[in-house]
Amino acid sequence: AQTVTQSQPEMSVQEAETVTLSCTYDTSESDYYLFWYKQPPSRQMILVIRQEAYKQQNATENRFSVNFQKAAKSFSLKISDSQLGDAAMYFCAYRSPFISSGSARQLTFGSGTQLTVLP
């Protein structure tokens, strides 16, 4: 079974600065998908960015980028020019590329990192 670990329960960053959130995972699969989700106080899960394991190029979405290191099984999220609206709980998640027999093709989530943005 896959596991996802987020070792930073809480992080803080000054507005306009850059912050990096860490995520490691464990899998025996060679092809998979990785995601970062944001959960603001409204508690709705919002997809921030996703990475396909077979793509070597790191994904980027505006101020959000990832550092994907497949051999190290590491998938960190970098937020540049942090804004007050970035304050939220951030979850790293893993998903298999196919349905294994008898199991759901589910998202496996880490425990989350609470990000505070200081004005």
- Residue 101 binds other proteins (CB under 8 A): no
Residues 40-79 within binding reach of other proteins (CB under 8 A): 42-47, 50
CB nearer to other proteins: pick between 12 and 14: 12
Query: What own/partner pairs with CB < 8 Å and gap ≥ 24 does 45-51 have?
Result: 45/91, 48/77, 48/90, 49/77, 51/75
- Residue 4 binds other proteins (CB under 8 A): yes
Distance CA 54, CA 31 (A): 6
Distance CA 47, CA 63 (A): 14
Tell me how crowded residue 10 is: count the other CB atoms within 10 A of its CB. 10
Residue 4 beta carbon to other proteins: minimum distance, rounded to whole angstroms: 7
In the chain, what is the greatest distance between 2 CA atoms, to the nearest angstrom? 49
CB nearer to other proteins: pick between 8 and 80: 8
CB nearer to other proteins: pick between 1 and 72: 1
Applying CB under 8 A, the residues found at the interface with other proteins are: 4, 9, 33, 35, 42-47, 50, 91, 93, 95, 99, 104-112
